[in-house]
């Protein structure tokens, strides 16, 4: 695999697992996250060519710096993966202005910055692949206590689809969305206001398994991918229901 790949949110979880997997396949990596020591440890495991860039992707200028440092080291960017994100444990009626702003900034604006930095580079190269890591919660409300996170991922899905439409006349630039479900990472433990630990939830998918799906999307670009096939069936049945409220009264939709 002779590609240069940028991964945000790479200090743990899905990002770290993907970095190690792609590094083992020979990819040249630029890994970004706020936690410097943890990021450096992931980069060391991902191979000698992995570049660690300590950066806050909620700041546009720092996203631009990630690209600059990657280009300075590797000379190009073939794949840009917006993976950074954070959850929340509050229902709609409990949300403050700051809660909602935080969710949109971390989960949507950071990816928007990545899109706006990466695509001009892809255009100059006449090739590239933008991948946004979303969530099944960006499709269906199966966990209302993640309300603002769900809303943010819905927004991310829309921005991604609209970008893909914008680039229809540029067939060498691909745009993909990948939707994991519950993944056994620190995501739940790090959510605002606490909440269930994703690593303790029954049926949680491993970060390594999600990384394999992401690697397959890099190898064979597709527009919209679920990391488990049953998730896609759930989405199809929900939006195909005559009355969504009836669907929401049945498993696996969450109830208190």
CB 120 within 8 A of CB 63: no
Query: Could you tell me the two tokens for 197?
Result: 């630990």
CB 174 within 8 A of CB 118: no
Catalytic residue among 149, 193, 226, 239: 149
Distances (CA, A) of 150 to 14, 65, 136, 138: 18, 29, 8, 5
Straight-line distance from the first to the last Cα atom of the chain, in angstroms, rounded to the nearest whole number: 46
The answer to whether 149 is a known catalytic residue is yes
Measured from the Cβ of residue 210, the count of other Cβ atoms closer than 10 Å reads 24
Beta-strand pair 28-33/4-8: parallel
User: In the 8-state DSSP scheme, what is residue 216?
Assistant: H
Residues catalogued as catalytic: 149
């Amino acid at each position: 695999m002779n590609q240069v790949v940028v991964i945000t949110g790479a200090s743990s979880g899905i990002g770290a697992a993907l970095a190690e997997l792609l590094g083992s396949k020979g990819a040249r990596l630029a890994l970004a996250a706020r936690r410097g020591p943890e990021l450096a440890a992931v980069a060391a495991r991902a191979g000698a060519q992995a570049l660690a860039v300590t950066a806050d992707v909620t700041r546009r200028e720092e996203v631009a710096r990630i690209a600059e440092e990657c280009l300075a080291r590797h000379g190009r960017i073939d794949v840009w993966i917006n993976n950074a994100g954070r959850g929340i444990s509050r229902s709609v009626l409990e949300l403050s202005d700051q809660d909602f702003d935080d969710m949109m900034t971390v989960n949507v604006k950071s990816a928007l910055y990545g899109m706006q930095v990466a695509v001009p580079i892809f255009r100059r190269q006449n090739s590239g692949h933008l991948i946004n890591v979303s969530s099944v919660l960006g499709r269906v409300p199966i966990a209302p206590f993640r309300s603002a996170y769900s809303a943010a991922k819905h927004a991310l899905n829309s921005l991604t689809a609209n970008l893909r439409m914008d680039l229809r006349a540029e067939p060498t630039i691909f745009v993909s969305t990948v939707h994991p479900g519950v993944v056994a990472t620190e995501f739940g433990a790090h959510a605002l206001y606490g909440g269930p630990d994703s690593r303790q939830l029954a049926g949680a998918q491993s970060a390594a398994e999600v990384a394999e799906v992401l690697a397959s999307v890099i190898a064979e670009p597709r527009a919209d991918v679920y990391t488990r096939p049953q998730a896609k069936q759930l989405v199809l049945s929900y939006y195909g229901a005559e009355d969504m409220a009836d669907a929401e009264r049945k498993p696996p939709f969450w109830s208190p």
